[in-house]
Amino acid sequence: MRWIELGEGVFARRYEHLDQTLGLVVGAERCLVVDTGGDEVQGAEFAAAIREITTAPWLVVLTHAHFDHHFGTKPFQPCPVWAHERCGPAMGADRATWVANFRRQHEHERAQRLLEAELVPPTHVLTGEVSLDLGGRKVTLLHPGPGHTDHDVAVDVPDAQVLFAGDLVEQGAPPSIGPDSHVEDWPHALDGLLARDPATVVPGHGEPVDAAFVRRQRDELRRS
Ligand SMILES: [Zn+2]
């Protein structure tokens, strides 16, 4: 695990497992946690790492309902949990599949952790976009339309020109197209993110990238 500082008080935390990337935006009064990881052990590790950076109260935003993005929420409780309105109903649907995947890969401890993780539903939902004041800094949670799922939420941090894209963007691997993805609409969702003019885009998996990388990924999706 390692932190990458992307701007003042804006961080990505990288994990070897699934090449995952979680996020943190620190304001004067609150900090925003972008995704919480795939189980409570990862969530607790992430929470402790955040506490070495800031003591500000946190709120959580979930980029989407896939297991690796939200089953680490319990260690952050109690706190507000933001997500798209369609995220809550979709949460947990992939748990059994991934428990089986991990068992097949002889990752029994990881399978058990996922099996035991508490599903923490969102407390606050959005449909289009919402602006949150973290104290001296505003961030926007936005749903750019269907893409990786029908309920992706990105986080724009305009004062740092950083945008957390969830799995709408992947670095190190092609975008993850699943049965719940909307491939035809996905390029349009990426246009919505690019319209925010980010200098740095943080993918849900892989290293932070620039806007040119996102444009290339959009064009590849358009051809697929
Ligand atoms: Zn995903």
Confirm if 128 and 142 have CB atoms less than 8 A apart. yes
CA of 149 to the centre of ligand 1 (A): 8
The CA 176 to ligand 1 mean position distance, Å, reads: 7
64 CA → ligand 1 middle, Å? 7
* 221, two tokens: 């999706």
Distance 79 CA to ligand 1 centre (A): 23
Ligand 1 centroid to residue 118 C-alpha, Å? 19
Letter string b/e over residues 83-117, b meaning 16 or more CB atoms within 10 A of that residue's CB: bbebbbebbeebeeebbeebeeeeeeebbebbeeb
Give φ, ψ of 79 to 5 degrees.
Answer: -170, 160
What are the pLDDT digits (tens) for 122-178? Answer: 999 999 999 999 999 999 999 999 999 999 999 999 999 999 999 999 999 888 999
pLDDT tens, residue by residue, 174-202:
889 999 999 999 999 999 999 999 999 99
Tokens, residue 224: 């697929």
* Tokens linked to 126: 């959005």
Q: What confidence score (pLDDT) does residue 73 get?
A: 98
Tens of pLDDT, residues 32-51: 999 999 999 999 999 999 99
pLDDT for residue 33: 99
Looking from the CA of 96 toward its CB, the CA atoms found within 13 Å total 1
Question: Mean of the per-residue pLDDT values for the chain?
Answer: 97
Ligand 1 center–CA 69 separation, angstroms: 7
Return the pLDDT at 169.
97
* 182 token code pair: 């909307």
Residue 109: predicted pLDDT: 98
Q: Cα(169) to centroid of ligand 1, in Å? A: 10
Give the C-alpha separation, 197 to 140, whole Å. Answer: 13
Q: How far apart are CA 132 and CA 171, in angstroms?
A: 27
What is the Å distance from ligand 1's center to 146 Cα?
Answer: 13
pLDDT band for position 24 (cuts 50, 70, 90): very high
C-alpha 136 to ligand 1 mean position (Å)? 31
Query: Could you give all domains of the chain from N- to C-terminal order, each with its CATH number?
Result: 2-223 (3.60.15.10)
Residue 50 alpha carbon to ligand 1 centre in Å:
23
Q: How far is the CA of 28 from the centre of ligand 1 (A)?
A: 31
Preceding amide of 78 cis, omega within 30: yes
Among all chains, which residue has been given the structure tokens 């990238």? 209
CA distance 163 to 180: 23
Question: Residue 63 C-alpha to ligand 1 middle, in angstroms?
Answer: 8
pLDDT reported for residue 174 = 86
User: What is the pLDDT at residue 104?
Assistant: 98
Query: Mean of the pLDDT values across residues 112-128?
Result: 98
pLDDT of residue 96: 98
Ligand 1 centroid – CA 87 distance (Å) = 12
**Is 224 a residue whose pLDDT tops 90?**
no
Residues in a beta bridge with 11 = 5, 24
- % of the chain at pLDDT higher than 90: 96
Exposure of 144 in the CB half-sphere (CA atoms within 13 A) = 27
